[in-house]
Amino acid sequence: MHGVTDVQTIGITLTNVNGSGTNVGPVLMKVLAGDTNEDSRTNVGDTNQTKSRSGQLTDGTNFKSDVNVDGRINVGDTNFVKAHSGHSLP
């Protein structure tokens, strides 16, 4: 998806779902960089969560903390979350 920026809620409409020709949506999607615990705020809770997972390989339980999507949770992810601290969605 192109043109999506941080700190916004977007509506997505899915077309031809399961080949049925049916449209689904709009489905609302929140975009908030660093909000690893999905509380609509990027803050110390997200930083602590990401930091506590440092050293882990990404899997189905911790993938939200791999904010740079490199397959590992490390200081790069923690620093990204810290840099976005203070952002929130209504």
Range of the domain at 23: 1-31
The two structure tokens encoding residue 69: 């999507």
Is 48 found in the same domain as 20? Answer: no
pLDDT score of 18: 73
- What is the pLDDT of the chain when averaged over all its residues? 93
Model confidence, pTM: 0.83
**What's the total number of domains in the chain?**
2
Whether 58 and 88 map to the same domain: the answer is: yes
CA atoms within 13 A on the CB side of 18: 3
Q: Could you give the percent of the chain with pLDDT greater than 70?
A: 97
Residues 90 and 48 in one domain: yes
Asked whether residue 21 falls in the same domain as residue 44, the answer is no
Task: Report, as ranges of residue numbers, the positions in the chain whose pLDDT lies below 70.
Answer: 1, 19-20
50 CB neighbour count, 10 Å cutoff: 26
Whether residue 6 is found in the same domain as residue 20: yes
**CATH code of the domain covering residue 58:** 1.10.1330
What pLDDT is attached to residue 65? 98
Check residue 56 and report its DSSP letter: P
pLDDT digits (tens, 9 = 90+) for 44-67: 999 999 999 999 999 999 999 999
Q: Within its chain, how far is the Cα of 80 from the centroid?
A: 12
